[in-house]
Amino acid sequence: MTPPQRQRRSPGQEPAAASPSADTSPKEGELRNPERLFVIGGEADGERADIDLVTLIVACADPPVSATPEQAAVLRLCSAPLSVAELSAYLSLPFSVVTVLLTDLLAAELVQARAPIVRQKVADRSLLEAVMHGLQKL
Amino acid sequence: MDFKSSDTIPGPRTEDRLPHTAEAAVKIVIVGGFGVGKTTMVGSVSEIRPLTTEETMTQAGIGIDDNYGSASKTATTVAMDFGRISITDQLVLYLFGTPGQERFWFLWNGLFEGALGAVVLVDTRRLEVSFDVMGRLEERGVPFVVAVNSFPDAPRYPVAELRTALDLPEEIPILDCDVRRRASSRDVLMTLMRFLHSLAMKGALT
């Protein structure tokens, strides 16, 4: 039996037109979501802090009296460092909504963000070695 | 608004809290078709119970998708499971299992751009499902390895035949795995890291 055949692509190549057959699988993770989510974001006017799924957030103050329930929840969850992805999961809020919440909290200096290490053109070998060493202990 | 009071929101268990010394995180993305075992793989190596982050897809995104027809106007929620491995007291690794369809990727800022690399998880019964994913990663210059999740009733191809079918250059690792087993999932991640390391060595020489 011969497997089906693929064709390699290269960086910067024009995306191929989506083939209709590629999408016949069930829509994984898709649910109808009737909730209106824009309320939580408050007055953020579209300006958002540069926040990644794995930016670590740490609270640097107790919730002020003026804090919304969501802000108070973030501050409570981040008494120890926590990734934005985990915040999104524990709060059951979409990533983008958490981003808006954090933008406000960062501006108010109630939380601190620890930026992730992202892939560089020339990868940091000592970082890769550290990860390998950590995986070996699993 | 019916947001739960902040006291009732479940947070991380005490043992799931990161130390205060945690300075930075890195991420790896596991991508593959529906039911190929992404979440199982995340769960088998994660130190925390896998969690789910979600994002809402707006109308504009849905419009491209003929399956919904023109009458559909509702927002769609796309979920992504993830897990965590503490590497050192300072460094944390996150693993994200994401659906293969690229139209979901843009929902999470920099999901692939910032990742160290990716694991493409394939099922030989539906090999073609992963073709588009690999092409997209190649276009974006995201380094990846291919892990074949060995289902009992799946056809087995020799690696050379698989490499030809997937049109992958010699240096890209292809390996078999059983993602239910922690050791096997860890080997996949180690293979990716060694591959990234070899790319870094090559980059340093040129």
Q: What is the pLDDT of residue A25?
A: 44
Alpha-carbon gap, residue A53 to B93, rounded angstroms? 12
Per-residue pLDDT tens for B103-141?
A: 788 788 778 888 999 999 999 999 998 998 999 899 989
- Which of the pair, A46 or A50, is modelled with greater confidence? A50
Q: Which residue of B has its CA nearest to A59?
A: B20
Beta bridge partner(s), residue A114: A56
Would an 8 Å CB–CB cutoff place B17 in contact with chain A? yes
| Confidence band for A31, pLDDT divided at 50, 70 and 90 | low
The percentage of residues in chain A with a pLDDT greater than 70, rounded to a whole number, is 73
CA-closest candidate to residue A55, choices A106, A124, A129? A106
Reported as type and span, the H/E element at residue A75 is: helix A69-77
Q: Mutate which of B1, B23, B53, B137 to test chain A, going by most A C-beta atoms within 10 A?
A: B53
Using DSSP's 3-state secondary structure scheme, residue A60 falls into coil
CB pairs under 8 A between A and B: 266
pLDDT at A26 over 50: no
Interface contact flag, B155 A96, Cβ < 8 Å? no
Would an 8 Å CB–CB cutoff place B132 in contact with chain A? yes
Q: What is the pLDDT of residue A54?
A: 96
Buried b (16+ CB within 10 A) or exposed e, B167-194: ebeeebbbeebbbeeeebbbbbbebbbe
pLDDT at A19 over 60: no
**Shortest distance, CA A64 to any CA of chain B (angstroms):** 13
Buried b (16+ CB within 10 A) or exposed e, B4-25: eebeebebbeeeebbeeebebb
Give the 3-state secondary structure of chain B: CCCCCCCCCCCCCHHHCCCCCCCEEEEEEEEECCCCCHHHHHHHHCCCCCEEEEEEECHHHHHCCHHHCCCCCCCEEEEEEEEEEECCCCEEEEEEEEECCHHHHHHCCCCCCCCCEEEEEECHHHHHHHHHHHHHHHHHCCCEEEEEECCCCCCCCCHHHHHHHHCCCCCCCEEEECCCCHHHHHHHHHHHHHHHHHHHHHHHHC
Rg (CA), chain A: 20
Per-residue pLDDT of chain B (206 residues; tens, 9 = 90+): 455 555 567 889 988 999 999 999 999 999 998 889 999 999 999 999 999 999 887 654 444 444 444 444 567 788 899 999 999 999 999 999 998 877 788 788 778 888 999 999 999 999 998 998 999 899 989 999 999 998 989 999 999 999 999 999 999 999 999 999 999 999 999 999 999 999 998 887 76
What is chain B's length? 206
Q: What is the pLDDT of residue B122?
A: 96
Interface contact flag, A28 B34, Cβ < 8 Å? yes
Alpha-carbon gap, residue B6 to B13, rounded angstroms? 16
pTM reported for the whole predicted model? 0.85
Alpha-carbon gap, residue B148 to B146, rounded angstroms? 7
Mean pLDDT of A65-79: 95
Phi then psi dihedrals of residue B93, to 5 deg? -110, 130
Interface pTM, i.e. ipTM: 0.87
Q: What is the pLDDT of residue A16?
A: 53
Q: What is the pLDDT of residue A34?
A: 47
Interface contact flag, B196 A128, Cβ < 8 Å? yes
Candidate from A40, A76, A121 with C-beta closest to B6: A76
Contacts of B98 in chain A (CB under 8 A): none
Reported as type and span, the H/E element at residue A126 is: helix A125-136
Q: What is the pLDDT of residue B3?
A: 57
Q: Which domains does chain B have, with CATH numbers?
A: 15-205 (3.40.50.300)
- In the chain, the amino acid numbered B112 is F
Q: What is the pLDDT of residue A14?
A: 61
Q: Which residue of A has its CA nearest to B51?
A: A89
Indicate the average pLDDT of chain A: 82
Q: What is the pLDDT of residue B4?
A: 52
Mean pLDDT of A63-86: 95
Angle at A57 between CA A125 and CA A29, to 5 degrees: 85
CA-closest candidate to residue A87, choices A56, A127, A41? A56
pLDDT at A130 over 50: yes
Rg (CA), chain B: 19
- In the chain, the amino acid numbered A96 is S
Mean pLDDT of A103-115: 96
- In the chain, the amino acid numbered A4 is P
Q: Residues A68, A73, A74, A76: is their CA dihedral positive or negative?
A: positive
Mean pLDDT lowest for which of A19-28, A125-134, B17-26? Answer: A19-28
The percentage of residues in chain A with a pLDDT greater than 90, rounded to a whole number, is 62
Q: What is the pLDDT of residue A36?
A: 46
Q: What is the pLDDT of residue A23?
A: 45
Per-residue pLDDT tens for B18-35?
A: 999 999 999 999 999 888
CA-closest candidate to residue A68, choices A41, A97, A44? A41
> In this structure, are strands B51-57 and B144-149 parallel, antiparallel, or unpaired?
unpaired
